[in-house]
Chains A and B, each alone.
Chain A
């Protein structure tokens, strides 16, 4: 009988040989098997997937962080541009940044749930005190990541959050000033702060995190999982594959949500950091919101309660929890006091977060604005808001940075005549400007608008000419197209100012016409491509968008818009209310074009670049 070799057998023996070869050199198979076979306590279910989920997202952060570091430049000159570059110009760069950005929030949420689960089930009791304490240290490291990473994009929000953050460190008694300067790398937030935060974020904290996580995992295995407070009868299942399967499903879900956010909710990049901005209202990320709100309630001289005492006491109490709650019982009914206090803190944090998120700006609370102007200028302000000027220009932190910041326009010593001429025909006085003409507003309105613009930054309504010799001279409006990377970002008006107006920019006209090259390649649709192309040309779309190399670069290039697989309804909804589809977009609504034109436009857009 000819020996027919079973191919499977051959396979197995090959695998065994390799496995044995490795085992002889590494000798870890016993260790691995023991860990995979670890029997789980009965009753360990979905709530016990949080730790592993946290680990998964942390690994995702490491990977995306490394990718971002390939592009990022930690200097005040380039940080913002490099972040803008990766989101706008690197293939999938926006998604990688999105994952890293939202990943931070996901980590905080999952970490919170993981801590709460351990807290409520008393998992920190003997002999797991150190496991818990190391966990609290990991939490501190993660908050450190969030704080240092926040500065890196070097936009307004980043800058001012760091100014406040390092000042918080500065309120510490005795060492505060030195601590603040050590963090800042000098006497203010600047170049040295950025390199420092970068080094801490990408070198120091990851090293700490890896070491602490390894210790935490070792301890978890050493003492085995705590499981539910009561020991239950039943069959104990092994860690692999029973629990790992649950872990995997949760990881899939969480990473799916994260990816969804990264893909569909664009991460904001505010205007580039500006130390001279006085009205940008820095509100912190949601996880620091409760602290921010709490600080507002503390009267003069008591700020240390909010900056140090309360956060410090809570942190320390968490760290020392195993010694504050020493009873041997893990049952909630035996730990009413501790659970009560913990729950109260959780509720307080929730309420403060809500209040912080819904609060309005202090100036608005006092019912004042910066405008203190003549009736003509007031009319101009109205026009400014109605004509969509803030889609491109910023005044005192409100509006966009596509065009120059107008906060101090009145100080530049430009004559009213110059302003009028500029509004009528921008390139005539500021060559290269891509601002559309606003001639159609009519002479009276133009004059009002010019008066308003000239009153900006000038106090008391009077307009002293060029107050500051060191302020920029009366240069012509810089043409943003020259330096697209810094000025053509898609910043959003300060997200918290409810009054950030986004009026439809009806008055824009089209400096350039898109090529109707792809017009013929119409796809089945409900609108008319040719008509859409006309609407595109007439509505000034090309002031901001480029098609086949023609048009502005403020908005996304639309040459291949039709290849993104966006539905007609998406396009229509986006034209009606851009922010509904791409939050943070500064594009004005085009609702007023009417349903017919919107349909045509959407059809035209979806035809672009499609074969």
Chain B
């Protein structure tokens, strides 16, 4: 009888150990995991950035423009440069991000052959940003744009 009481007392204590340390673990693990992974949940935030005066964008051509990307990353708010390509057709502007849809390198525009080529794995896009050769799975991303005060603005995230 006494033996059985002792036995159940022990198994109760074992539960206590499991429970208490389990809670301790959760107390630490939950905030730790949330804080570590919080950036994975960052929302895309678009901001409008001026690209160029319309007069500076030659008609019928694709122009490479370096813009200052003002979206801060964490505490680091120094604007970084970002490359975009503006294709102008009369008053129609198509703005391409330079980020290759394959693994993220910056593509470049080669007017001699009217194509974008990615320096990493050789992806090729045509003048409309469509992926036409090599590994890229998708066309170049087109960025939203609008014209304000004779200046082309683009939404970057």
The residues of A with any CB-CB pair to B shorter than 8 Å are: 75-77, 160, 163-164, 166-168, 171, 178-179, 181-182, 184-188, 190-192, 274-282, 292, 295-296, 298-303, 307, 361-363, 365-366, 368-370, 372, 396-397, 408, 411, 457, 459-460, 462, 464-471
Contact = CB atoms under 8 A, between A and B. Distances in A.
Interface stretch (B4-12, B18-26, B74-82): B74-82
B95 interface: no
A588 to B, nearest CB: 25
A368 B106 CA distance: 17
Given A191-B73, A460-B61, A470-B67, A178 B40 contact: yes
B111 to A, nearest CB: 5
B94 interface: no
Contacts of A295: 102-103, 121, 135
> How big is the B interface, by class?
35 or more
Contacts of B115: 366
A300 B63 contact: no
Contact of A167 (B74, B80, B104): B104
Contact of A282 (B67, B74, B120): B120
Contact of B106 (A278, A296, A462): A278
B96 to A, nearest CB: 12
Interface string B115-137: 10111111110000001001111
A316 to B, nearest CB: 22
Contact of A467 (B65, B108, B119): B65
B110 A275 contact: no
Given A187-B157, A276-B83, A460-B58, A362 B117 contact: yes
Contacts of B40: 178-179, 181-182
A465 B81 contact: no
A362 B118 contact: yes
Contact of A275 (B64, B82, B112): B82
Q: Which of B80, B81, B104 has the most CB of A within 10 A?
A: B104
Contact of A182 (B37, B68, B151): B37
Contact of A465 (B36, B56, B112): B56
B58 A366 contact: no
Given A167-B103, A366-B124, A471-B65, 6 more contacts: A192-B39, A192-B76, A278-B83, A279-B119, A363-B117, A468-B52
B74 A467 contact: no
B73 A277 contact: no
B65 to A, nearest CB: 5
Interface in B33-91: 36-37, 39-42, 44, 49-53, 56-58, 61-69, 73-76, 78, 80-83
Contacts of A277: 106
B111 A460 contact: yes
B105 A163 contact: yes
A370 B65 contact: no
A555 B124 CA distance: 39
Contacts of A301: 137
A363 B115 CA distance: 10
Contacts of B135: 295-296, 298-300, 302-303
A301 B137 CA distance: 5
Given A181-B40, A191-B76, A280 B119 contact: yes
A163 B80 CA distance: 15
A292 B53 CA distance: 40
Contacts of B65: 467-468, 471
A202 to B, nearest CB: 16
Contact of A164 (B52, B57, B105, B107): B105
A386 B134 CA distance: 34
A467 B57 contact: yes
A181 B111 CA distance: 34
B108 A279 contact: yes
B1 interface: no
Given A181-B39, A185-B39, A469-B50, A361 B66 contact: no
Contact of B107 (A190, A278, A280, A303): A278
Contacts of A184: 39
A320 to B, nearest CB: 28
A274 B119 contact: no
A306 to B, nearest CB: 8
Contact of A276 (B66, B134, B136): B66
Given A164-B103, A190-B76, A368-B112, A470 B68 contact: yes
B75 to A, nearest CB: 7
A190 B57 CA distance: 30
Given A303-B135, A459-B111, A470 B50 contact: yes
Contacts of A181: 39-42
Contacts of A469: 50-53, 151
B27 to A, nearest CB: 21
B58 A462 contact: yes
A467 B39 contact: no
B109 interface: yes
